[in-house]
Amino acid sequence: MQQRNRLEPYFENLVFEREDNKMVVNFGPQHPSAHGQLRLILEMDGEQITKAVPDIGYLHRGMEKMGENMIYNEFLPTTDRMDYIAATSNNYAFALAVERLLGIEDKVPRRAKVIRTILLELNRIISHLFWLATHALDVGAMSVFLYCFREREYAMDLMEEYCGARLTHSAVRIGGVPLDLPEGWLDHLNWFLNNLPEQIKLYEGLLTENRIWRMRLEEVGIVPPEMAKSWACSGIMLRGSGIEYDIRKEEPYELYEELDFDIPVSDRCDSYGRYLLYMEEMRQSIRIIRQLITMYKDTGPELMAHAPEYISAPKEDIMTQNYSLMEHFVLVTQGMRPPVGEVYAPTESPKGELGFFIRSEGEPYAYRMKIRAPSFWHTGILQDLLPGHYLADVVTIIGSTNIVFGEIDR
Amino acid sequence: MRPYRPKDNVQKKSYYTDRFWVAPRVPEEPVEDEIFKEDLASVEQTFSIKKAYIQRGQLVIIIDPKDNVEVLRHLKEERGYDVLSEMSAIDYLAKDGEFEIFYQLLAMSKRRRIRVKCRIKENEAIESVECLFRSADWSEREMYDMFGIKVNNHPYLKRILMPEDWVGYPLRKTYPLHGDEAAQWYEVDKIFGKEYREIIGPEQRDPAFVSTKDTCNYARVTHPLPKCADPNSEPEHIEVFNDDAPLVETFDLKKSKIVDKTR
């Protein structure tokens, strides 16, 4: 028997017949420029937007629920799937939150810290290149997309050479890193860093003074400083509005205290200002990695923190010492048990402030894991940002907020 | 006899805990930091504070849920905590019959972070702080979506991540990881209606589902049978490597070329 289908076709793309002569346009959720499954319901007066309602949740996988049902080490690879453009920054944010909860933040060996910071900055470059590529493609500059992806490919090769994965790295562990840098990796990194400034100059030559680029970006998506603060914007969305706040500088974690770098700020408040910041941030990341390469040379060989109740001993100890093997067995089968308490650890991911709030009840499973993903608020701001703009600017604004749906819907 | 499992918390539990195990605690330090001391004294003047301590470098204040808007307004306007970076709830229904709501605030000028917490009963509502921070708009929607906590005076209190017609609140401890019954039948209920649950049945609902207890079919998961084949018949043996057309060629050093530089 044929069964009656109760799904009603309410998702028409256009609704013309309204009394107030306004048109409702359904933008997404399958739109190539929406950077994921973003659905925007736009009320238009002619070409101009009068109301925008972002609709999210199409990629919701319940990561917070999963975090409450997995032991801490088990959950770490899951965090890869949040901001999948720069996976290490998620791994690191999670590892940092757990380390802070355990109180072993200072016990992480220096070499591990150097490697982590290199990876974080490399991920920042990868993420910014990806942003520039897709943003330029959305606005209409096809060739920039190809150039950026070429450079990103080299950076991903470096990640692959280090940890074996290109997108979902899981290259950071709670308490350190699993692997030392392979032989010759720093030379490859150096080659990449020497090559990149020239390429950035090429992108800037293509875009910065480009008439079309400037017309599409200037005075589009203006975020006043009050609005940025009220919407809890972070990262470049915040610094593009003239507020100088970078968690790497203000609340330093890892090795950022010892490193010498600048925080670019722009008070243009528009998409063009944010574009300039992205370009400058890539240069600063190169500068940071160069300093880290010299730091790497005078570090000891340890890679994981020594905290036997929480972290397994090195492999040699597990293979040779009975007690280490027993501890390792308990840590793998039952999981580490952090002390009772809660922690909120903010980090500066390429997208903005990425923080993990963890409430622990002394069990191997977190009692509550709240992931503060920057893109969530950068999408929410669209409902205040879009009205008054033209339909063609929607794509520019979505692009310049640099949202990624893995971390919005989690 | 089947072991007893509590219904009010169905999340995963450790399979073994030593009976003498006492979990250590993250120290709750007294408020000695200069800036935090001033902030706390300023809040204490007008509002009643149940408890205040510093945990891992952040000040935690526990307040009365009725004061939440006023305390946050005071912190925002007088003390410079003008960013609400995060807010959500923790489910303590099984233990105390309460939700704990936390507001994570940041003062950029002082580089300080405060966590304001309050507890409400299951059926109580909380006042919205959206009038102070726009970011609370979506956070409170998410909290409502995940815990079912009603928020008074919110401009658009609707589910945000889950579909609007979803049954249950996914982040409650009573909600299982793999979803409850309504979640399993969500598509069937929506497309055909509840009365079709029995007609369709669990096998039709999820044709890809194979129970691990069903040894006959579970063993066939990666060796599917052709359509209409007898389920008891042995699957045909498929020759993957054929000698006539080798898939893998033997490595010949003379024919191959070694590239000196990869990039």
Contact (CB<8Å) B133/A66: no
In tens digits, what is the pLDDT along chain B, a chain of 263 residues?
887 888 888 888 888 888 998 999 998 888 888 888 888 888 888 888 888 999 988 999 999 999 889 999 999 998 889 999 999 999 999 888 899 999 999 999 989 999 999 999 988 999 999 999 999 999 999 999 999 999 999 998 989 999 888 988 999 999 988 888 888 888 888 888 888 888 887 777 776 666 666 666 666 666 666 666 676 666 555 555 556 655 566 667 777 776 666 55
For A:86-105, CB contacts with B below 8 A are: 100-101, 103
The reply to whether A150 touches chain B by the CB within 8 Å rule is no
Paired strand residues for A345: A356
Q: Where are the alpha helices (DSSP H) in A164-270?
A: 185-207, 211-217, 225-230, 236-239, 247-250
Q: Residue A194: CB partners within 8 Å, gap ≥ 6?
A: none
**Count of domains observed in chain A:** 1
Contact (CB<8Å) B85/A70: no
Please indicate, yes or no, if residue B12 is contained in any of the structural domains: no
Closest CA to B114 of B85, B134, B92: B85
Please indicate, yes or no, if residue B157 is contained in any of the structural domains: no
Q: pLDDT digit string (tens) for A173-220?
A: 999 999 899 998 999 999 999 999 999 999 999 999 889 899 889 888
Please indicate, yes or no, if residue B176 is contained in any of the structural domains: no
Please indicate, yes or no, if residue B165 is contained in any of the structural domains: no
Please indicate, yes or no, if residue A21 is contained in any of the structural domains: no
Q: pLDDT digit string (tens) for A153-184?
A: 999 999 999 998 989 999 999 999 998 999 98
Out of A30-39, A314-323, A352-361, which region has the weakest mean confidence (pLDDT)?
A30-39
The reply to whether A340 touches chain B by the CB within 8 Å rule is yes
Contact (CB<8Å) A363/B263: no
Domain CATH for B81: 3.30.460.80
Please indicate, yes or no, if residue A62 is contained in any of the structural domains: no
- Residues in chain B within 8 Å Cβ distance of A340: 23-26
Is the Cα torsion angle B2, B3, B4, B8 positive or negative in sign?
negative
Please indicate, yes or no, if residue B261 is contained in any of the structural domains: no
ipTM of the complex: 0.86
Q: How far apart are CA A288 and CA A260, in angstroms?
A: 7
Please indicate, yes or no, if residue A357 is contained in any of the structural domains: yes
Question: What counts of helices (H) and strands (E) characterise chain B?
Answer: 8, 7
Mutation for A interface: B9, B17, B117, B160, most A CBs within 10 A: B160
What is the extent of the structural domain holding A230? 72-305+341-409
Q: pLDDT digit string (tens) for A254-313?
A: 899 999 999 999 988 899 999 999 999 999 999 999 999 999 988 888 889 988 889 998
Mutation for A interface: B135, B149, B172, B188, most A CBs within 10 A: B135
* One domain, residues B130 and B40: yes
Q: How confident is the model at residue A1 (pLDDT cuts 50, 70, 90)?
A: very low
- Average pLDDT value for chain A: 89
* One domain, residues B57 and B112: yes
* One domain, residues B61 and B126: yes
* One domain, residues B143 and B49: yes
- Residues in chain B within 8 Å Cβ distance of A232: 83-86, 133, 135
Alpha-carbon distances of A108 from A44, A85, B173, rounded to whole Å: 54, 26, 34
Contact (CB<8Å) B263/A227: no
- Checking if the pLDDT of A8 tops 70, the result is no
Please indicate, yes or no, if residue A97 is contained in any of the structural domains: yes
Domain CATH for A234: 1.10.645.10
* One domain, residues B135 and B193: no
Task: Report the residue of chain B nearest A409, measured CA to CA.
Answer: B161
* One domain, residues B43 and B146: yes
The reply to whether A187 touches chain B by the CB within 8 Å rule is no
Residues A269-288: b if buried by 16+ CB within 10 A, e if exposed: bbbbbbbbbbbbbbbbbbbb
Percent of chain A having pLDDT more than 90?
60
Please identify, among B152, B168, B202, the residue that sits at the C-terminal boundary of a domain: B152
- What count of other Cβ atoms lies within 10 Å of the Cβ of residue A300? 8
Given a contact cutoff of 8 angstroms between Cβ atoms, the answer to whether A403 and A66 are in contact is no
Our CA angle for A395, A242, A97, nearest 5°, is: 85
State the Cα torsion A310-A315-A317-A319 to the nearest 10°. 120
The reply to whether A384 touches chain B by the CB within 8 Å rule is yes
Our CA angle for B100, B103, B108, nearest 5°, is: 160
Please indicate, yes or no, if residue A126 is contained in any of the structural domains: yes
Please indicate, yes or no, if residue A180 is contained in any of the structural domains: yes
Given a contact cutoff of 8 angstroms between Cβ atoms, the answer to whether B64 and B121 are in contact is no
**Count of domains observed in chain B:** 2
Task: Report the residue of chain A nearest B133, measured CA to CA.
Answer: A230
Contact (CB<8Å) B55/A227: no
Contact (CB<8Å) B162/A60: yes
* One domain, residues B39 and B133: yes
Please indicate, yes or no, if residue A95 is contained in any of the structural domains: yes
Q: How confident is the model at residue A320 (pLDDT cuts 50, 70, 90)?
A: very high
- What count of other Cβ atoms lies within 10 Å of the Cβ of residue A343? 24
Mean pLDDT confidence for A19-27: 79
What is the extent of the structural domain holding B200? 185-218
For A:387-406, CB contacts with B below 8 A are: none
Please indicate, yes or no, if residue A28 is contained in any of the structural domains: no
Please identify, among B104, B135, B152, the residue that sits at the C-terminal boundary of a domain: B152
* One domain, residues B191 and B144: no
How does DSSP classify residue B66?
G
Q: How far apart are CA A269 and CA A275, in angstroms?
A: 11
Q: pLDDT digit string (tens) for A88-140?
A: 999 999 999 999 999 998 999 999 999 999 999 999 999 999 999 999 998 88
The H or E element spanning position A159 is helix A142-163
Please tell me the distance in Å from A372's CA to the nearest CA on chain B: 6
Q: How far apart are CA B3 and CA A223, in angstroms?
A: 57
- Checking if the pLDDT of A53 tops 80, the result is yes
Nearest to B11 among A69, A157, A230 (CB): A69
For A:253-312, CB contacts with B below 8 A are: none
Q: Residue B110: CB partners within 8 Å, gap ≥ 6?
A: B35, B80
Please indicate, yes or no, if residue B223 is contained in any of the structural domains: no
Our CA angle for A220, A222, A228, nearest 5°, is: 145
